[in-house]
């Protein structure tokens, strides 16, 4: 077991890592806390000293492009209404449905871990046994999880450390709970502020096995370890970098341009005051009087003239449009506000989803690898409980995505398909009238989605003769007057 000193060292190192620092930035931008919130305006006073300007407008409006880009990725990847875990073995499929496809709790947690992966660069699912004794999964905040490799520990074993804030004590210090997991048990600690972790005396037993349970009509407590560290990590990319990385500077520039335009409109609507004959010494006081009291005193020969200037809105609008286009391009997202030529066909719609499709394709590969790791422990549990020998090769993953489509295009496509099918049917019928063969009949049944074995006895032996007989019967009919 690792020592409290080791635990503190690992926590301190992780806290200062560049990966976690940018993960926090990604979470901050996802929550709308952009750098523009810290924007300050300064000026040099009459003595040449740098001062913060509290009189000018300093509008701080974050534009949450990253929130939209992240949610687009997750929701588009999981947009299919069909199940995503498949097996050709009916009994196994039923079990997989209960664990994955029809398990609303799992789908909700999968949504959260995908969001963590895109926003922070990586996300974790924590595995545990629920009240029914089955494996269940819960998203763990990736900012609170620390992975420790065995080569860095005193006992040579791998660990996962999960630290989260519980409360503040009477002195105002943060009290955190620390859980140290290995492949058989978890040990609980408490940490006050940045002090040395101490064993949690309120946790009984401590260390605690992964699973504690009781049997019917038995007061004894039984325990078992899962046999693996119950954390599974999903990476956004090879370097575990947040999806914010390619677009952060573009979003910051958009915030500055948009807020700068708002500040100009706020400050320059009343124009610039030109003071003639002013003999005062305090220009700061003059500026304050104009802004707050709307008046200023001058001598008998003085005058006040208000001049307005034209705000360069067109240049700012062009820059904002360029930034917005670049954000969706390099963020690989779908710009729903994009204006086209009015001819929105399915081809145009699919082309606008091209970048988002590309990004989701890359993430889907890592998601399938992630689910394979989870599937392994789920299959082990199913095989142990039911005495089966299911394998990974019995299961596959398939994600379908849904996009908006043009109803007119869809109707035209359906009409074209129907006409094509009708042409094929007519061709087969003409061939059958000339040279009836079993293969042509099978082809017709396949085309019409019929069961050939049920209909083969109902086909006429000689279609041409049957047609002539029918024609003669029609000729003998006397029309009624």
pLDDT of res. 194: 87
Tell me what pLDDT residue 436 has: 59
**Residue 75 forms part of a structural domain:** yes
Q: Which of 328-337, 435-444, 455-464 is most confident?
A: 328-337
Same-domain check for residues 222 and 322? no
Regarding predicted confidence, which is higher, 449 or 400? 400
Under the banding of pLDDT at 50, 70 and 90, the label for residue 138 is very high
Average pLDDT rounded to a whole number, residues 242-268? 91
Question: Are 111 and 92 found together in one domain?
Answer: yes
- Range of 328's domain? 248-339+346-352
d(Cα 126, Cα 194) in Å, to the nearest integer? 25
CA distance 127 to 121: 20
Res. 445: pLDDT tops 90: no
Residue 41 located in a structural domain: no
Q: What was the pLDDT predicted at 434?
A: 61
Query: Do residues 139 and 113 lie in contact, with contact meaning Cβ atoms separated by under 8 Å?
Result: yes
Is the domain of 223 the same as that of 126?
A: yes
Q: What is the pLDDT of residue 456?
A: 65
Q: Are residues 309 and 222 in the same domain?
A: no
253 and 211 within one domain: no
Band of pLDDT at residue 122, cut at 50, 70 and 90: very high
Within this chain, do residues 81 and 227 fall inside the same structural domain, yes or no? yes
Q: How confident is the model at residue 377 (pLDDT cuts 50, 70, 90)?
A: very high
pLDDT of 20-48, one tens digit each?
999 999 999 999 999 999 999 888 887 88
User: What pLDDT does residue 114 have?
Assistant: 97
Is residue 402 situated within a structural domain? no
Each residue's pLDDT tens digit, 275-317:
566 555 565 665 666 555 555 555 556 665 665 657 778 888 8
Tell whether 53 is covered by a domain: no
Q: What is the pLDDT, as a whole number, of residue 235?
A: 96
Q: When comparing pLDDT for 231 and 476, which is higher?
A: 231
What's the average model confidence in pLDDT over 193-199? 91
Specify the pLDDT at position 333: 92
Residue 471: what pLDDT?
53
pTM for this structure? 0.77
Residues 184 and 285 in one domain: no
Alpha-carbon span 97 to 101, nearest angstrom: 4
- In 3D space, the residue among 248, 299, 305 whose CA is nearest the CA of residue 272 turns out to be 305
pLDDT at 479 over 90: no
Q: How many whole angstroms separate alpha carbon 243 and alpha carbon 332?
A: 10
In a domain, 71, yes or no: yes
Tens digit of pLDDT for each residue in 424-440? 767 766 666 666 567 77
Check: CB of residue 37 under 8 Å from CB of residue 194.
no
- Per the domain annotation, does 409 fall within a domain? no
Q: Please name every residue paired with 187 in a beta bridge, in sequence order, or none if there are none.
A: 180
* Tokens describing residue 458: 């109902």
pLDDT band at 469 (very low <50, low <70, confident <90, very high): low
Given 352, 376, 407, which residue is the final one in a domain? Answer: 352
Q: Output the pLDDT for position 424.
A: 72
Encode burial over 146-155: b for 16+ CB neighbours within 10 A, e otherwise: bebeeeebee
Q: Are residues 141 and 282 in the same domain?
A: no
Q: Find out whether 425 and 364 touch, Cβ atoms under 8 Å.
A: no
Model confidence at 402, pLDDT cuts 50, 70, 90, reads confident
| Cβ atoms within 10 Å of 58's Cβ, excluding its own | 17
Say whether both 314 and 219 belong to one domain: no
Q: Do 102 and 233 sit in the same domain of this protein?
A: yes
221: exposed, middle or buried (Cβ count in 10 Å: 0-12, 13-18, 19+):
exposed
Q: Do 282 and 150 fall into the same domain?
A: no
Judge whether 437 lies within some domain. yes
pLDDT category, 118, cuts 50, 70, 90? very high
Q: Are residues 266 and 383 in the same domain?
A: no
Q: How many domains does the chain have?
A: 3
Average pLDDT taken over every residue of the chain:
83
| pLDDT score recorded for residue 231 | 96
Give the tens place of pLDDT for each residue, 44-74: 887 888 988 887 888 999 999 999 999 999 9
Q: What is the 3-state secondary structure (H, E, C) of 262-312?
A: HHHHHHCCCCEEEEECCCCCCHHHHHHHHHHHCCCCCCCCCEEEEECCCCC
Name the nearest CA neighbour of 117 among 135, 143, 138, 99: 143
Answer yes or no: is 50 within a domain: no
């Amino acid at each position: 077991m690792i020592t409290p000193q080791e635990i503190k060292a690992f926590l301190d190192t992780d806290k200062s890592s560049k990966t976690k620092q940018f993960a926090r930035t990604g979470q901050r931008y996802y929550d709308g806390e952009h750098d523009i919130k810290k924007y300050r305006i300064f000026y040099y006073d009459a003595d040449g000293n740098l001062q913060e300007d509290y009189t000018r407008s300093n509008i701080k409006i974050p534009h949450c492009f990253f929130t939209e880009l992240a949610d687009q990725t997750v929701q588009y990847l999981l947009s299919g209404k069909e199940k995503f875990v498949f097996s050709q073995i009916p009994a196994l499929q039923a079990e997989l449905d209960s664990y994955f496809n029809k398990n609303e709790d799992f789908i909700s947690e999968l949504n959260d871990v995908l969001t963590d992966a895109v926003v922070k660069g990586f996300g974790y699912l924590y595995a545990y046994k629920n009240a029914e004794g089955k494996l269940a999964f819960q998203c763990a905040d990736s900012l609170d999880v620390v992975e420790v490799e065995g080569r860095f520990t005193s006992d040579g074993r791998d660990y996962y450390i999960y630290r989260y804030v519980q409360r503040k004590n009477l002195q105002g210090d943060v009290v955190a709970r620390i859980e140290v997991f290995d492949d058989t048990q978890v040990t609980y600690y408490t940490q006050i502020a940045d002090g040395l972790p101490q064993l949690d005396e309120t946790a009984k037993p401590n260390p605690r096995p992964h699973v504690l349970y009781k049997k019917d009509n038995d007061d004894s407590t039984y325990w078992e370890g899962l046999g693996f560290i119950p954390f599974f990590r999903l990476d956004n990319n090879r370097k575990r970098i947040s999806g914010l990385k390619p677009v952060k500077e573009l979003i910051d520039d958009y915030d500055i341009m948009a807020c700068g335009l708002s500040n100009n409109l706020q400050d320059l609507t009343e124009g610039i005051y030109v003071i003639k004959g002013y003999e005062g010494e305090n220009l700061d006081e003059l500026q304050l009087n104009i802004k707050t009291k709307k008046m200023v005193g001058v001598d008998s020969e003085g005058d006040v003239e208000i001049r307005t200037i034209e705000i360069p809105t067109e240049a700012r609008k062009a820059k904002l449009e360029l930034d917005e286009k670049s954000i969706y391009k390099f963020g690989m997202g779908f710009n729903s506000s994009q204006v086209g030529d009015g001819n929105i066909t399915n081809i145009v719609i699919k082309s606008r989803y091209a970048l988002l499709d590309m990004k989701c394709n890359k993430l889907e590969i890592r998601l399938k690898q992630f689910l394979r790791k989870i599937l392994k422990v789920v299959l082990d549990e199913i095989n142990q409980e039911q005495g089966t020998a299911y394998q990974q090769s019995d299961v596959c993953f398939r994600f379908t995505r849904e996009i908006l489509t043009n109803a007119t295009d869809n109707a035209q496509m359906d009409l074209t398909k129907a006409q094509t099918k009708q042409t094929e049917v007519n061709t087969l019928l003409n061939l059958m009238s000339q040279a009836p063969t079993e293969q042509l009949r099978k082809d017709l049944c396949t085309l019409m989605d019929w069961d050939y074995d049920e209909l083969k006895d109902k086909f006429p032996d000689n279609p041409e003769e049957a047609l002539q007989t029918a024609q003669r019967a029609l000729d003998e009919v006397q029309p009624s007057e």
